[in-house]
Amino acid sequence: MRYAILIAGLLCSSAFAAEPTSSAATPAASAKLDCVQPEFPGAKARPAKIEAFNKLYQAYGDCVNAFIQSQNAIVAAAEAQRKLELERANAAIDAGNAATAAYKEYAARIELASKGK
């Protein structure tokens, strides 16, 4: 029902001009994890190789965590943008509804006046 009223309001008003958006309309390319997985030297490897592997394994985990954090930041920014766009859309709907109500009230007054009442 809100959308039908909005459409009627838009037809009766030229106040709603399209505004350019600052963000691109196309989705960003999906990011890829480019962290290098260290090769496990085996359980019977020399202690020096195991120690080197452990350092590389830690670096790999840090890289994965940094990637996850960057993806979470992208999601958070998108959610914030979605919220702003939803608020803007709801404000436009409310303005359209108000314009429709004003138009109907005016048309009713004109109709009464034309009948001499």
Q: Which residue has the tokens 């409310």?
A: 94
In angstroms, the CA 37 to CA 62 distance is: 11
Q: State residue 115's pLDDT score.
A: 87
3-state helix/strand/coil string of 72-114 = HHHHHHHHHHHHHHHHHHHHHHHHHHHHHHHHHHHHHHHHHHH
Specify whether the CB–CB gap between 72 and 64 falls below 8 A. no
**49 confidence band (pLDDT: 50, 70, 90):** very high
Specify whether the CB–CB gap between 71 and 31 falls below 8 A. yes
The DSSP output letter for 41 is: -
CA angle, residues 93, 99, 102, in degrees to nearest 5: 140
Handedness of CA 63, 68, 74, 77 (dihedral sign): negative
In angstroms, the CA 111 to CA 117 distance is: 9
pLDDT tens-digit map of 71-116:
999 999 999 999 999 999 999 999 999 999 999 999 999 999 998 7
